[in-house]
Amino acid sequence: MNALALNAGSSSLKFALFDTAPEPMVSGDIDWADGNRQRAQLTLLANGKTSRSQVQVPDESIAAARAIESVLEAAGIGADGIAVVGHRLVHGGAEFRESMRIDQKVKMALAKLSRLAPLHNPPALKVVETVEAVLPGVPQVAVFDTAFYAQLPPKVFMFPLPYEWHRDWGIRRYGFHGLSHAYCASRAAELLGRPLASLRLISCHLGGGCSATAVRDGVAAATTMGFSPLDGLMMGTRCGSIDPGIILHAQRECGLTAEQIDHALNHRSGLLGISGVSPDLARIEEAAAAGNERARLAFEMFADRVRGAIGALAAGLGGVDALVFTDRIGENSPALRAAACQGLEFMGLRLDAERNRAALPDTDVAAPDSPARIVVVHTREEWMVAREARRVVGCARPRAQRAPNAG
């Protein structure tokens, strides 16, 4: 029962084709991390070989069509060789607390949630519509990042705002990157040879979007992202947490409209906004090494915020048994891992410099005498999506549920 997983992110489209095994038959991504969709990179891994080429993908619909075409060709199958397509959906709101087979009603509900995840839900819906055209009749399943956080207690998911805002408008902490954090927590436990239920973990998903999550006994206990994927850590083009008074000031004193502020916070802030170079940390590191002071500042700000989030989450857990780094930056930037861990020795997190420089996922990069471990894990959101999609089409469709009110 071949399952195709499609993961539309803010700066890439990842894809993978699975049979019943966790290793994909074909996988790859179309990446425009530098913001140039006319020169995106298509990476394809099939039959043990990796190929790379440049493609033009002006929007997610074209990217999805190109990805599906590449998968079918590499796997040597036709459209009838795909039994189900699973999609990573970033925001499920209060309506969707578990995976859901996609129909017109679900699509309409997801479209309404797009205002809460403008960089993610709209692209994902475009990909859904492309699949309908390219693979007609193939069932599609939405797998939600927010589901991992459905059991957060009220003291964690509530904001200190008028209570009516939560009761009447559903304003609460939803949390994101749940699929990645759930997988990485489980994988970290495997690497350490310890039961997941016995561990206090902090997982740092650092890519185009960034978040950190505390996991206790295999369950999410806290996370940096909140009502929308704009909250929390500094990101590629997103600001992360800022003083809300800045927004009021920008409206009242600087004359910016809500739309202008929305665009600035989502598209012109973060690493790009500070460095002026790129939203891609790899390019920022290169520019900083060449003497670009704004690039150096962007790197230092980013590392500082990751370090601060680790400390805050560790305090909530009462300590940490393992720290996990994952996704594009977390997996590929030894410099960022070193900077983020600097000064955390008092928490028992001691990085081994040589192991860190040479690390490939999945690896423990902590010093031998470190009381807590530091692991680099290759996130596998696509496998999580494919597994869920296969489960949903193989059983009765779950009903949408509303999150319970705090009180």
> Domain ranges in the chain?
3-173+382-393, 193-380
Q: Do 70 and 44 contact (CB within 8 A), yes or no?
A: yes
Distances in Å between the Cα of 400 and the Cα atoms of 88, 108, 153, 200 are 17, 13, 20, 31
DSSP letter at 333 equals -
CATH architecture of 3-173+382-393: 2-Layer Sandwich (3.30)
For the segment 357-362, the average pLDDT, to the nearest whole number, is 95
Name the catalytic one among 34, 145, 321, 327: 145
Query: How many angstroms separate the CA atoms of 207 and 343, rounded?
Result: 23
Q: How far apart are CA 360 and CA 325, in angstroms?
A: 11
CB neighbour class for 108 (10 Å; exposed up to 12, middle 13-18, buried from 19): exposed
Over range 368-389, report the average pLDDT: 96
Gap between the Cα atoms of 50 and 227, Å rounded = 38
CA separation for the pair 137, 84 (Å, rounded): 10
Nearest CA to 378 out of 232, 207, 144 is that of 207
Q: In this predicted model, what pLDDT tens digit does every residue of 196-254 receive, in sequence order?
A: 999 999 999 999 999 999 999 999 999 999 999 999 999 999 999 999 999 999 999 99
Tokens encoding 28: 């790859």
145 is catalytic: yes
Contact 357, 157 (CB under 8 A): no
Phi, psi of 110 (to 5 degrees): -70, -35
How high does pLDDT run on average in the chain? 92
What CATH superfamily is the domain 193-380?
Answer: ATPase, nucleotide binding domain (3.30.420.40)
Enumerate residues 6+ apart whose C-beta is below 8 A from 93: 109, 113, 116, 146, 170, 174
The answer to whether the 3-173+382-393 and 193-380 domains have the same CATH topology is yes
- pTM for this model (two decimals): 0.87
Query: Taking residues 308-312, what's their average pLDDT?
Result: 98
**Is pLDDT of 154 > 60?**
yes
Q: In this prediction, what percent of the chain has a pLDDT beyond 70?
A: 96
For residue 400, give the amino acid letter. Answer: A
- The confidence score (pLDDT) of residue 33 equals 66
